[in-house]
């Protein structure tokens, strides 16, 4: 299996498009396409980044293994996809628990209406009714906000399974690598220009 075929296979196993992979590497989609077609090969900095993105070793990317399936030798390649699916399942369950929990409190506040008085402010009585009165009467405010928090965590896990990945440090490192690459290109251009003007 060639390097390009491995990149293509790993990209698809991780449910990524060429555009998404290119964006993570700060390169163009056409470059990724050329790698996958075997028209060009990534340099060592991109190989390291690819190994980190796909969670495989650089040896796995570089060494030719014509008759072996990469997934059998490297079971960790499926881990990112499995982790995303697990997070989405957990997120779905948490979201359902959160929604049903809030709805349960709301329905109970209608079925068992309660008034909760806290005293007076400036001679005016303060009375809570509805959901807030129910929560205060039954001393369930903490439980209600716990259920809301579980629902919020569920929504985050369900709709943003990669939340927490790609931190600002990762983005800064990618930008630094891109700037260094651009600097090298400019230096090479200046050298070529200087040679051509002599």
For 18-28, give one letter per residue: b (16+ CB within 10 A) or e.
beebbebbbbe
Q: What percentage of the chain has pLDDT greater than the value 70?
A: 81
Q: What is the pTM of this model?
A: 0.44
Structure tokens at 7: 């990149």
* Rounded CA separation 49/156 (Å): 26
* Rounded CA separation 184/188 (Å): 6
pLDDT higher than 80, residue 108: yes
Q: What is the pLDDT of residues 122-171, one digit of tens each?
A: 667 777 788 888 888 888 899 999 999 999 999 988 887 766 655 555 66
Residue 15 neighbours by CB under 8 Å, 6+ apart: 81, 84
pLDDT of residue 77: 46
């Amino acid at each position: 299996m060639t390097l390009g075929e491995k990149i293509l296979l790993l990209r698809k196993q991780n449910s990524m498009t060429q555009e998404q992979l290119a964006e993570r590497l700060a390169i163009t989609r056409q470059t990724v396409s050329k790698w996958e077609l075997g028209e060009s090969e990534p340099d060592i900095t991109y190989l390291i980044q690819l190994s980190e993105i796909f969670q495989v070793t650089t040896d796995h990317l570089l060494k030719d293994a014509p008759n072996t399936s990469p997934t059998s030798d490297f079971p960790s390649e499926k881990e990112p996809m499995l982790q995303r699916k697990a997070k989405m399942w957990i997120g779905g369950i948490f979201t359902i628990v959160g929604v049903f929990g809030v709805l349960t409190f709301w329905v109970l506040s209608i079925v068992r209406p309660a008034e909760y008085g806290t005293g007076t402010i400036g001679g005016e009585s303060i009375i809570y009714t509805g959901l807030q009165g129910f929560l205060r009467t039954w001393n369930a405010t903490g439980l209600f906000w716990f259920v809301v928090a579980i629902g919020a965590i569920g929504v985050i896990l369900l709709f943003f399974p990669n939340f927490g990945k790609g931190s600002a440090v990762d983005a800064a490192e990618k930008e630094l690598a891109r700037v260094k690459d651009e600097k090298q290109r400019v230096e090479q251009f200046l050298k070529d220009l200087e040679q051509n003007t002599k």
